[in-house]
């Protein structure tokens, strides 16, 4: 582009600066006509407005020698004016076209419409919008709409998956969002509803796990109770058998004591007044019966203690197993052990007392009334003492029998309640 055209490109002001000297060209001395022609040629080829280019071309093609000067003095300004008026008319038409587009597109398109219609926009902005800007905005909206649809489809697939594999509450909420049939419901579910439903599922799961744990603990307790009950049943039978055996052995001890008391009284009677050989012989027989009876009681006294020990062992087993119906067995065992100890003590003291009496030979050797009187008194004391001992043991045995019966009845009642 020539220097002259550069000046022309500066606009009306610059051209006026060139045109002003042109008006006084006839007064210029030696003004080169080639300079004016070059200027017009540049405008004809490179001018901004079409009207200016056409007018410049017409001046160059004219046969009038003053055509170029006339163009520079007047024609260019007139052409420029026509160009400006045409631009105004074109922009007005463009504005009407764009105004008709308001609200007809997507977010980007509508925003561009408002921008090119705004106070800061130019005619070129509006022309550019109609030329390519509108298409670009529509493409951007279409792309974002497609992206939004693709994203919505992805979210919907996610909700469809949750409606299949989620917890009960999540499935329910996901299905409701899908049934709503709109993207807003899907988004609302993923933003808020899912967390609420998942929390409900977690709470329900925790409650269910707690319930299952409690049920399992209850079942474990029932199984443990069943195991203990099954284990306790034969032990309880053994306890009852041992207790019965102890009472039976105790009965033999009390019977022996009672018989020995009878024999002791007989021995005292035999040497009371008549001390004949026949009476002394009978006395020796009665004394021997007492001693033999007490020696025989040794087995039953020890058996009572052994059976009482067995009862204690079985009672401890039942108590340690924690069955509520077996809490009184320890009381039964302790009471029976005390009775067994009393039986052994009674047997031992009775045996010692019987052995301490004098036989017939000793009495004949002394052969004094006092010796006989002392022996009679000794036998009387033996009879009195062990009559009381036998009665006490009998009462204790009866008491233990009642304790056993009460304990058995209580155990059966509690076992019935437990089942």
pLDDT tens-digit map of 357-415: 767 778 777 777 888 888 888 888 888 888 888 888 888 888 888 877 877 776 676 66
The number of distinct structural domains making up the chain is 3
Instruction: Report the alpha-carbon distance of residue 357 to residue 290 in Å, rounded.
Output: 10
DSSP 325: G
Give the model's pLDDT for residue 221. 81
Reported confidence tier of residue 419, pLDDT bands at 50, 70, 90: low
Reported confidence tier of residue 144, pLDDT bands at 50, 70, 90: very high
Contacts of residue 383, Cβ cutoff 8 Å, sequence gap at least 6? 261, 264, 265, 268
Reported confidence tier of residue 145, pLDDT bands at 50, 70, 90: very high
Give the model's pLDDT for residue 1. 43
Domain-located, residue 369: yes
- Say yes or no to pLDDT of 14 above 50: no
Give the model's pLDDT for residue 89. 84
Same domain, 30 and 85: yes
Instruction: Report the alpha-carbon distance of residue 168 to residue 197 in Å, rounded.
Output: 8
Domain-located, residue 225: no
**What b/e string do you get for 29-42 counting C-beta neighbours within 10 Å, with b at 16 or more?**
eeeeeeebeebbbb
Give the model's pLDDT for residue 23. 40
DSSP string covering 109-137: HHHHHHHHTSTT--HHHHHHIIIIIHHHH
- Say yes or no to pLDDT of 111 above 70: yes
Predicted TM-score (pTM) of this structure: 0.49
- The answer to whether the CB of 71 falls within 8 A of the CB of 37 is no
Tell me the angle at which helices 168-180 and 134-165 cross, rounded to the nearest 10 degrees: 150
Supply the range of the domain harboring residue 131: 112-165
DSSP 186: H
- The answer to whether the CB of 317 falls within 8 A of the CB of 235 is yes
Instruction: Report the alpha-carbon distance of residue 247 to residue 308 in Å, rounded.
Output: 9
Q: Which carries the bigger pLDDT value, residue 1 or residue 190?
A: 190
Same domain, 334 and 410: yes
Same domain, 271 and 352: yes
Same domain, 37 and 73: yes
CA distances to 61, 117, 419 from 170, rounded to whole Å, are 85, 50, 43
Percent of the chain residues past pLDDT 90, beyond the cut: 26
Tens of pLDDT along 172-217? 999 999 899 888 999 998 999 999 999 998 999 999 899 999 999 9
Same domain, 241 and 359: yes
């Amino acid at each position: 582009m020539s220097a002259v055209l550069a000046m022309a490109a500066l606009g009306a002001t610059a051209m006026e600066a060139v045109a002003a000297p042109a008006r006084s060209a006839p007064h210029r001395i030696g003004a080169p006509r080639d300079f004016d022609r070059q200027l017009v040629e540049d405008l004809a080829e490179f001018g901004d407005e079409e009207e200016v280019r056409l007018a410049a071309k017409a001046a160059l093609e004219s046969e009038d020698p003053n055509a170029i000067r006339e163009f520079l003095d007047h024609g260019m300004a007139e052409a420029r004016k026509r160009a400006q008026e045409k631009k105004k008319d074109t922009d007005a038409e463009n504005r009407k076209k764009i105004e008709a587009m308001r609200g007809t597109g997507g977010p980007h398109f509508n925003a561009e419409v408002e921008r090119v219609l705004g106070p800061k926009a130019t005619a070129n902005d509006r022309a550019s919008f109609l030329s390519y800007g509108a298409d670009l905005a529509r493409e951007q909206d279409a792309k974002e709409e497609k992206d939004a649809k693709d994203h919505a489809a992805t979210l919907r697939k996610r909700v469809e998956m949750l409606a299949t594999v989620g917890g009960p509450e999540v499935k329910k909420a996901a299905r409701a969002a899908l049934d709503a049939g709109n993207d807003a419901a899907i988004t609302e579910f993923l933003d808020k509803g899912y967390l609420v439903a998942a929390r409900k599922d977690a709470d329900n799961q925790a409650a269910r796990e707690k319930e299952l744990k409690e049920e399992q603990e209850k079942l474990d307790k029932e199984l443990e109770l069943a195991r203990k009950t099954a284990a306790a049943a034969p032990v309880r039978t053994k306890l009852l058998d041992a207790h019965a055996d102890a009472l039976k052995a105790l009965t033999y001890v009390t019977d022996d004591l009672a018989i020995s008391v009878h024999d002791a009284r007989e021995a005292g009677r035999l040497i009371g007044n008549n001390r004949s050989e026949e009476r002394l012989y009978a006395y020796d027989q009665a004394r021997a019966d007492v001693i033999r009876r007490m020696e025989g009681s040794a087995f039953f006294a020890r058996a009572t203690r052994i059976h009482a020990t067995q009862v204690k062992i079985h009672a401890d087993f039942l108590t340690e197993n924690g069955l509520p119906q077996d809490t009184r067995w320890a009381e039964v065992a302790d009471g029976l052990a005390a009775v067994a100890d009393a039986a052994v003590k009674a047997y031992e003291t009775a045996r010692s007392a019987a052995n301490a009496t004098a036989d017939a030979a000793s009495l004949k050797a002394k052969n004094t009334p006092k010796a006989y009187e002392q022996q009679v008194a000794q036998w009387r004391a033996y009879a009195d003492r062990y009559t009381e001992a036998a009665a006490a043991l009998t009462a204790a045995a009866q008491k233990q029998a009642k304790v056993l019966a009460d304990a058995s009845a209580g155990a059966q009642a509690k076992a019935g309640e437990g089942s």
